[in-house]
Structure 1
Amino acid sequence: MKNLIRLEELVMFLLSIYLFSFLDYAWWIYLLLILTPDIGMLGYLINAQVGALTYNMFHHKGIALFIGFMGLWWSIPELQLASIILFGHASMDRIFGYGLKFSDNFKHTHLGDL
């Protein structure tokens, strides 16, 4: 099952790259921004509850899709870019087993313990 989930996430990561190709940005922008959602980990400097909240906000695919739909609806390419980066990053993390966090411990994720 773990490999099936990784394969599914790989397809979604590749989808983010494909969708990025429709935007009017240079390719290096994707490479530059793909790790930026990890700023959500800074919440762990406060405590595990805040860390889980901020991490999950930057790694939740539903939030990424909502931002993307708003970017399409309002024709704002920056929101579309943010959506693709958030979605792609969340997929990339899940390929490596990093899921959404529970508030008790960074290593306790919805995909199991790291």
Structure 2
Amino acid sequence: MSAAETPGAVRGTPRLLLRLEGAALALAAILGYRATGEGWGLFALLILAPDLSMLGYLAGPAPGAMLYNAAHTTLAPAAIGALGLALGSALPVALALIWLAHIGIDRTFGYGLKYRAGFGFTHLGVIGKPHDDGAGKPVPD
């Protein structure tokens, strides 16, 4: 499957904007984490924790994509952060911000939500492959 055949893969300026949006999310989450007063050891320990969801690929591409996507959308960390704020508890807020920082960093580097075609097929394009139209003609990033 080429980049052009990847359903919903974004290219061009929208792709750049989504990556910049990821960078903004990561920066905001890191600055927010700093404000929680939690130690940077916790941040270092957990920043890659969402990538444990890749273990779902051991069961195949469809369950892998489902588990990876569940761990790499902002919905769960936003809910946990909101709950922490509502309860006045810094730890859930800090955990949510670490999770959001991870998602933002992934988006910045082009690791998008996965399609069932395989790990490398994301909404931000194909990971690790030059972008072409399937006939060898480059497609603008």
- Report how far residue 13 of structure 1 moved: 0.7
For 2:25, the aligned partner's letter is M
Unaligned runs of 5+ in 2: 1-12, 128-141
For 1:79, the aligned partner's letter is P
Larger RCO, structure (CA 8 Å, separation 6 or more): 2
Which of residues 43, 49, 57 in structure 1 aligns to 2:70? 57
Conserved 8 A contact 2:38-2:91: no
Q: Which residue of 1 aligns with 2:88?
A: 75
Q: Which residue of 2 aligns with 1:11?
A: 24
1: CA distance, partners of 2:39 / 2:98: 14
- Report how far residue 76 of structure 1 moved: 3.1
Conserved 8 A contact 2:26-2:101: yes
TM-score by length of 1: 0.89
What is the DSSP-based 3-state SS (H/G/I as helix, E as strand, rest coil) of the residue aligned with 1:107?
strand
- Report how far residue 4 of structure 1 moved: 3.0
- Report how far residue 60 of structure 1 moved: 0.4
Q: Deviations over 1:58-108 (max 9, x none)?
A: 110122211211111123333212211111101100111000111221111
Quote the sequence identity (%): 37
The structure number with the bigger radius of gyration is 2
- Report how far residue 17 of structure 1 moved: 0.8
Superposition RMSD on alpha carbons, in Å?
1.5
TM-score by length of 2: 0.74
